[in-house]
Amino acid sequence: MQIKQAYRECEHIIKQNSATFYKAFSLLDKADRQAVYAVYAFCRIVDDIVDEGENVEQELTIFKSEYEQFLQGRYRATSAHWVALADVFQRYSMDAQAFRDMIIGQEMDLTVHRYETLAELEGYCYHVATTVGLMLLPILVPKVTPVLRENAHHLGYALQLTNILRDIKEDYQRGRIYLPQELLQQYQVSEHMLLGPEATPEFIAIWEALAAVATTEYERAEEQAELYPLRARLAVYGAAKLYAAIIEKIREKNYDVFSRKQYVDDAKKQIIIELLRKKW
């Protein structure tokens, strides 16, 4: 498969599955945004195996083996994500361990369906979200520093908490509850309340408690925005602002995370991006 076709297929994957990230990272130069698309395609494949695979454990084992072979230069030349990712690894100093850690995070969903504390949940968020930031850092900045890795942690944690707040019912129907058990007990929220159909005062209270954590993490991340080159800054914090807007959207809809998945519409997204352009 030619590299151009591989990148086109990776772009199609992100465009179909995450309009938010696609819009934000389209602000990058062509070479950099193509690299982001390739990383996203890798992550999407792992995520789909866990959520939709017929024999998940076997499929994940095969995929992990394929990744290790890929690092040795052996991969299927007909597979778009491997072809594109090989080009990315050649052009950037990629963090191979971050890819492994992300797979570990996806594996956690097979065996861990409840989290007792917020600290435990933060560990999960590292594996499924912070790792993605660590994958992208070599593409976005000339040199990855410990401070930038910390920034990726804050942002990844905030983004994953936003996903959790949006997908409460969907996750529960898959047998997973990410709201920490200690908070469920503190706010007297039963697991049955996570199905709706309406948000009770108790549900709103626990939802807002977790939203406050996400907001703090977004703010901590943005304090370090100047660490990124301007174009990368617009992409990274464009994604952050678009995701953070989901929290406000849910509030506007009276905390309805039961009847539909809440999104930020295209017009609102454009306004957010234009405000960031003016800011920087």
Q: What is the DSSP string of 89-144?
A: HHHS---HHHHHHHHHHHHHHHH--B-SSHHHHHHHHIIIIIHHHHHHHHHHSSS-
Do 22 and 235 touch, CB atoms closer than 8 A?
no
Do 56 and 109 touch, CB atoms closer than 8 A?
no
- pLDDT score at 278: 86
Q: Which residue shows structure tokens 């898959």?
A: 174
Domain count, the chain: 1
Q: Residue 160 is encoded by which pair of tokens?
A: 């994953």
Sign of the four-CA dihedral 173, 169, 110, 132: positive
Taking the chain (280 residues) in runs of 10, the rounded mean pLDDT of each run is 96 94 92 97 95 90 96 95 98 97 95 97 97 97 95 97 97 96 98 94 98 97 92 92 96 96 92 88
Query: Whole domain around residue 57: which residue ranges?
Result: 3-279
- pLDDT score at 280: 80
- pLDDT score at 279: 84
Q: Residue 279 is encoded by which pair of tokens?
A: 């800011």
- pLDDT score at 53: 82
Domain with 71 in it: what CATH number? 1.10.600.10
| pTM for the predicted model, two decimal places | 0.93
Q: What are the φ and ψ backbone dihedral angles of 113, each rounded to 5 degrees?
A: -115, -5
Do 101 and 21 touch, CB atoms closer than 8 A?
no
Would you call 177 helix, strand, or coil by DSSP? strand
- pLDDT score at 161: 98
